[in-house]
Amino acid sequence: MSAECSSYLNADKVLVSGFSCPRTSGDARAVYCCGFQDVKYCCDDPHSFFPYEHSYMWWLSVGALVGLSIAAVVLFAFIITVCVLCYLFISTKPRSKLDTGLSLQMAGKTNC
């Protein structure tokens, strides 16, 4: 099994000619062409990077979506908990001031 890496322009805009995988000087298990538009290499895992434009990291996107979903659920649960606790705090407060039966008067003054 072998794969063909097409020619490409590297980051310095130099044309790199195409090559076959596995390379004669490389690992014999690296039979897939992996990389980006500006750097390509032979690899042994076809899911590490695809040679196609904009689809080389689809499995990272799935992981990111799962992580963001879990974070959103945790944030939503936190917000609901805070809202419920605020409601309970407000609804259990006494509606009026408690009457102690004592009236406040200033000390030292007499009523004449």
pLDDT tens column, 47-56: 665 544 555 4
- pLDDT of 4: 85
Identity of the amino acid at 39: V
Domain ranges of the chain: 3-43, 52-93
Which 8-state DSSP code applies to residue 99? P
Closest CA to 38 of 67, 80, 71, 9: 9
Query: What percentage of residues in the chain have a pLDDT greater than 70?
Result: 71
pLDDT tens column, 7-17: 998 888 899 99
What whole-number distance in Å separates Cα of residue 108 and Cα of residue 88?
44
pLDDT tens column, 37-78: 888 888 887 766 554 455 545 556 777 888 899 999 999 999
- pLDDT of 86: 93
pLDDT tens column, 77-95: 999 999 999 999 988 877 6
